[in-house]
A and B are shown apart, each in its own frame.
Chain A
């Protein structure tokens, strides 16, 4: 069993209950899509599976470990085995694509190796091999702030693929891509997961993409599992129940992060007016 949740609940510090009493199992090598309306708790669930958040109730087992009970060392080792693809990849704008991709394996690299690689990228062929199927190998030495949103998302995917994780998590991995590219990228993710025999859990906004590419679908609503069945058995009734009565007001829940953090701009503005006499 790769993932096992038992009565897992998660309440955010603000008091918002994102997940309630979640119980589900995902076995090794399964490829699962999590769908549901905005604010259903998809991102929270994936962050929980990525050990970015700890459950406030219940039991969570990941790759045979309970992250809440692990010491720092064990948690670090577990984390190197889990890769999370972010909706808007958190990459420093000035970093080059090659460095951003190689950073995926920082968990298994020694500090000295990480330092040397910062001066001269140590595994250029390795990074190139990850970018090639994503059609980005020509951007290897380009800075991240020169890429479009879709290209950035693919860099984020390449980084996690380079990490060689046993559990692949993807939070809306294709939200910034056009339909053709999104289709291609999801197919690629599934093929790689199948080739490597690793587990893949992805949250998706587009139901058709989820049904087409994944074996198993979990419908999440208000922090509860509404349905959990093979994609062939997902009925229209399931879907309409999942998305029923969704008022527009609710759509504000999911946190939309700005695509690119502000770069140098603010800094230079201060410089020009900075007092001289200090």
Chain B
């Protein structure tokens, strides 16, 4: 009985939180559905159609999509390399101090969202796709570094120990004994992250970090709605394509 009462209390707290949220935001939800704002909305939506499908614009969109793809790929590659290096420290292979400090670093890198990194990197590296690449690399280093370290901690130690016992140096024993064990997982994690980063790279341009996002932001700022909707459609297609591709790959590899 008391358990039921407790659940009831939690539900009431949830409802209170909901009411508080809506009243705090002072949202005029009903206003959204009044006739004048509805016609306004309709007018706003209509301005987007028909989408601009002129070949010149499509070529630019294609370039933007390639740029987005490149940002995500290079960013993930950099993150994979630095994540691998940091994961060695974070798995405690080079001492306790290195372990604690690298974990702190990885957690910080991971906790700051890509978009915030992008805004910071625009300051450090100027506007453009390079800032986006760095932003993706920094955040993903934190994510991959932690995942890589977990893989390192869970891999069997016997192969490397056996090599050490037959006189191999620590680096050689790692390369021949430990590395083959973690590599497939590291690659799988990186590919999975890459998939996520493609999505992310598409919107990093909102803070000036290149790719499709920057095109969308600029066209919307210039009230070029037909051009903007083409970019949105391109984003949608890209996301769907990546989704389908990764689902297909996962089924094939499983």
Q: Direct A–B touching in the complex (beta carbon < 8 Å)?
A: yes
Closest-CB distance, A79 to chain B (whole angstroms): 4
Residue numbers in A under 8 Å from B50 (CB-CB): none
Contact at B165–A272, with CB atoms within 8 Å?
no
Residue numbers in A under 8 Å from B154 (CB-CB): 266
Interface residues on B, range: 35 or more
- The answer to whether A103 and B143 touch (CB under 8 A), given A77-B167, A90-B161, A264-B185, is no
A87–B230 CA distance with the chains assembled, in angstroms: 64
Residue numbers in B under 8 Å from A92 (CB-CB): 156, 159, 177-178, 180-181
Closest-CB distance, B148 to chain A (whole angstroms): 11
- The answer to whether A118 and B188 touch (CB under 8 A), given A84-B165, A90-B162, is no
Q: In terms of DSSP, what is the predominant structure of the interface of chain B?
A: helix
Checking A80, A91, A94, A257 against B166 with a beta-carbon cut-off of 8 angstroms, the contacting residue is A80
A276–B242 CA distance with the chains assembled, in angstroms: 14
- Could you show 27 A-B contacts with beta carbons less than 8 Å apart? A51-B165, A78-B167, A79-B165, A82-B166, A86-B158, A90-B156, A90-B162, A90-B177, A91-B159, A93-B181, A95-B180, A106-B167, A106-B168, A107-B166, A107-B167, A108-B167, A111-B171, A111-B172, A114-B172, A257-B158, A261-B158, A263-B184, A264-B185, A268-B250, A272-B250, A276-B196, A278-B143
Checking B176, B180, B185 against A114 with a beta-carbon cut-off of 8 angstroms, the contacting residue is B176
A104–B166 CA distance with the chains assembled, in angstroms: 7
Q: Which of B134-169 contact A (CB under 8 A)?
A: 143, 151, 154-156, 158-159, 161-169
Contact at A106–B163, with CB atoms within 8 Å?
yes
A80–B166 CA distance with the chains assembled, in angstroms: 5
Residue numbers in B under 8 Å from A109 (CB-CB): 172
Q: Which of B187-244 contact A (CB under 8 A)?
A: 188-189, 192, 196
Closest chain B residue to A100, Cβ basis: B176
